[in-house]
Amino acid sequence: MTTPASVDIGYWTGSFTHWPSMGPQAGQPIQVSIGTGPDANGIAWLWEKIDGWDSPDVSGGVIQRGADHGGWPALQTYAPRAMTVTVRASAPTQYLRDVARAILQRVIPVNELCLMQYNEPIPKQMWVRRSGRIPEAYDNLLEVDFSCVLIAPDPRKYNVVLSVSPMTAWLSQSYMSIGTTGAPTTIPFTLPNNPAPPASMCANAGNFETRPVITINGPHHAPGIQLQSTGQIVSWSQVNLAAGDLMVIDCDSRMAWVNPGNVTLDVPLQIPGSISGYVAADVTSSWFPLHPGLDNVLLMSGTSVISDAGTMVVRSRDAWI
């Protein structure tokens, strides 16, 4: 007995995509496309329910005051996002129904992350993995419902579109570094002609902070990045980038590397275990996110008057909570 596979319409589409890290298919994507019609096996996948997409839980609370009424508000943050996602697979044969079972069990891994995309009117994505069993229920011999218990370590929902903001100016001439207050002491003297530091204008159209991946191409001495609205600066005064060097700065993990080689420049940055070239930021650094809005201006700096042609590119995704 066979029945036509179900097909969804409207915004109720999406996918799970997993890139295995080991085995003969390492690095090759395994994907389940949901709501787009039958796949190559003739299996149609549907969203049925998503619990936990609305808001994550919080961690922290209020500390009771000693010998007094009320309490003190301790630091409270968002916890990892827990979700239960119900997916239906509709297959033309019972054999292919079991193929669907095998595929779904593989695409949502135990010890790695997979990319879940949900196509609302503004499509969003997040990295998830299973957090418990994946129970199966059967209405008939050709269809199976999966109740996928998932955890997203990063509770943000990200725009599927990656925003790339290049620097608005090149370091084509000398400029005084951000925070430099010294002046020549020989009289008479002439103050240097300091053009405005190179800047990137970065927008975040979501409702929650997002953390960019910033790349700097050498040559550049003692790179630093400042968020203009708050004055926060993260810098590497001991780093000297030669021509052709690439520095990758991940504002989420608060780490940076020079010439890491095998990093895919995406947000959030998926960091492979074999990455090398780590460089520590100065202890005076203050890491920052991109806040919701259009006024995130990042300035590129050095720690001395420099003259080179380094460039900066900021990659980010709008984020929602």
In whole angstroms, what is the distance from residue 182 CA to residue 210 CA?
A: 35
Question: What's the confidence (pLDDT) of residue 264?
Answer: 85
Share of the chain above pLDDT 90, in %: 64
Q: Based on the domain organization, do 91 and 223 belong to the same domain?
A: no
320, 242 Cβ separation under 8 angstroms: no
Q: Based on the domain organization, do 20 and 111 belong to the same domain?
A: yes
Q: Is residue 249, in this structure, part of any structural domain at all?
A: yes
Q: Is residue 234, in this structure, part of any structural domain at all?
A: yes
In whole angstroms, what is the distance from residue 163 CA to residue 219 CA?
A: 24
Q: Based on the domain organization, do 151 and 201 belong to the same domain?
A: no
Q: Is residue 67, in this structure, part of any structural domain at all?
A: no
Structure confidence by residue, pLDDT tens digits, 244-292: 899 999 999 999 999 997 788 899 887 776 678 999 999 999 999 999 9
Between vectors from CA 266 to CA 257 and to CA 156, what angle results, nearest 5°? 110
pTM of the model: 0.84
194, 175 Cβ separation under 8 angstroms: yes
Q: Based on the domain organization, do 113 and 177 belong to the same domain?
A: no
Q: Is residue 70, in this structure, part of any structural domain at all?
A: no
Q: Which of 137, 208, 132, 195 is nearest to 169 (CA)?
A: 195
Q: Based on the domain organization, do 181 and 84 belong to the same domain?
A: no
Q: Is residue 72, in this structure, part of any structural domain at all?
A: no
Return left, alpha or beta for 273; rule: phi > 0 is left, psi -120 to 50 is alpha, else beta. alpha
Q: Is residue 65, in this structure, part of any structural domain at all?
A: no
Of the residues 102, 123, 155, the one at which a domain ends: 155
Domain of residue 33 covers 14-53+80-155
pLDDT above 50 for 185: no
Q: Based on the domain organization, do 140 and 184 belong to the same domain?
A: no
pLDDT above 50 for 164: yes
Q: Based on the domain organization, do 162 and 141 belong to the same domain?
A: no
Distant-in-sequence, close-in-space partners of 236: CB < 8 Å, separation ≥ 6? 222, 223, 224, 247, 256, 279, 280, 281, 282
R_g over Cα of the chain: 25
Q: Which of 185, 98, 181 is nearest to 144 (CA)?
A: 98
Structure tokens at 292: 């919701």
Share of the chain above pLDDT 70, in %: 84
Question: What's the confidence (pLDDT) of residue 168?
Answer: 61
Q: Mean pLDDT, to the nearest integer, of 16-36? A: 88
Question: What's the confidence (pLDDT) of residue 193?
Answer: 46
Structure tokens at 68: 């007094």
307, 198 Cβ separation under 8 angstroms: no
Helix ranges (H only) for the chain are 94-107
What single-letter amino acid sits at 53? Answer: W
Structure confidence by residue, pLDDT tens digits, 44-75: 999 999 999 999 999 988 999 999 999 999 99
Q: Based on the domain organization, do 151 and 101 belong to the same domain?
A: yes
